Chains A and B, each alone.
Chain A
């Protein structure tokens, strides 16, 4: 953390944001980089600096700060949130009848992209090649819709909902067919789309759709429809460093304030002195507008704090937003455990064979 007296640009903690480039991007706190300093791994020191602060929570998204970790860990969590947290989505479509204008494959893709409210923990993974579909790893839905003319429709209307029955096939028409034990296990929260108003197809009289759909549990790596987040992203905390040797001239204070996002720069009403509002610094969009004006040259240095990550995660589908980081951390720990088992197996191998280490044909 910064010593209170230094408010300048610290290349060890800040990424420099200049007009045409960025500088000091990589972290340098590795053992041996600075002579005499010890940067080796120390859990206690890490835990002192680590902070996770939730800033905003809504029913669909969460904003939190992750402070004190390296970029590789923050990125690992972000990648896991996007690609490796499991969800349940429709994977196979068996079409008995489709006389609508939407062709089978396009209609199947539309249905597959509908998010379901199924807890992935209740299903097992299904290996598409080898496993049989069982009630432990597959959910079955039926979509049946036929469009007919309404007998007593008003004569002069052109509104399809008034003229026809089932002119639009909505996601609410996906019926869950419980298989085997699912009727009891999933009774408390019957599987259904999270949003019942998604239009899947439009029909006219005489057109019918009759499909059976199988849903499985999988991850975003396999197909993007399994991604549990609308997106998960992070940015680094912006830092605006004013140069005490070259203060902003009072008559240009208003112009200086306009170069930044609203609320970031405060002007003292009497002395017209310019200061940075620490609490609002996070709203700065770093447009670098201030570098475009020669009168402010040397007055300010834009930077970002290298280990302060502002995460924004928007949930899509089953998980409430506050659960997503828990899931990502548990997936990360599963991966670490799998690697550890494999490495320990290698260790046993190498010990068992005395000096003879098993070489793979690389």
Chain B
């Protein structure tokens, strides 16, 4: 292994062509887990996608992806990550535009 703490492991029992696999992602929680699950489910080739946090004391999530037509779940994961990045970018741009537009109420808050 290249790194000491690996970020993603493919768990035992995955299909040889990765059409069905469970990924164990370390140092992540519902923040990324739920967002990834939603984006992967938006892919029409995904048969099943679910995630769980096996125990709150262990900081990891398990994400299971099953694909139709023998496609690779790793490709679906990568596509979802790229789409999530686009979502973040869109939100950032619209927020920036709204702040610059200045159409909001400003008020003074005493601490």
Contacts and interface: CB of A to CB of B under 8 A. Distances in A.
A326 B108 contact: no
Given A322-B99, A335-B32, A342 B6 contact: yes
A77 to B, nearest CB: 8
Contact of B37 (A56, A72, A338, A359): A72
Contacts of A83: 31
Given A40-B43, A339-B7, A360-B24, A79 B31 contact: yes
A158 B52 CA distance: 62
Taking residues whose C-beta sits less than 8 angstroms from the other chain, chain B's interface range is 35 or more
Interface string B73-92: 01101100111111111111
Contacts of A312: none
Given A76-B34, A346-B74, A362-B24, A43 B83 contact: yes
B71 interface: no
Contacts of A355: 16
Contacts of A322: 99
A157 interface: no
A51 B97 CA distance: 10
A332 B87 CA distance: 11
A336 B42 contact: no
Contact of B14 (A53, A341, A357): A357
A32 interface: yes
B91 A66 contact: yes
Given A50-B94, A52-B98, A362-B13, A343 B88 contact: no
Nearest to B12: A362
A58 B108 contact: yes
Contacts of B109: 58-61
Nearest to A27: B38
A157 B26 CA distance: 63
B87 A342 contact: no
B94 A52 contact: yes
Contact of A57 (B77, B91, B95, B106): B106
Given A55-B104, A57-B105, A343-B81, A360 B12 contact: yes
Contacts of B53: none
A52 B91 contact: yes
Given A57-B104, A195-B111, A360-B11, A43 B86 contact: yes
Given A195-B111, A329-B91, A336-B84, A31 B44 contact: yes
B84 to A, nearest CB: 5
Contacts of B28: 335, 339
Interface in A67-116: 69-70, 72-73, 75-77, 79-80, 83-84
Contacts of A283: none
Contacts of A80: 31
Interface string A324-350: 011001001101111111111111001
B77 to A, nearest CB: 5
B42 A30 contact: yes
A322 B104 CA distance: 12
- Which of B9, B28, B31, B95: most chain A Cβ within 10 A? B31
Contacts of A84: 31
Contacts of A52: 91, 94-95, 97-98
15 contacts: A40-B43, A41-B39, A50-B94, A52-B98, A57-B107, A66-B91, A325-B91, A333-B85, A342-B6, A342-B25, A346-B8, A355-B16, A359-B12, A360-B12, A362-B11
Given A31-B42, A60-B111, 20 more contacts: A31-B41, A41-B42, A50-B94, A56-B106, A61-B109, A64-B98, A69-B87, A72-B35, A79-B30, A80-B31, A84-B31, A325-B91, A329-B92, A335-B32, A342-B25, A343-B77, A344-B78, A345-B2, A350-B74, A360-B12
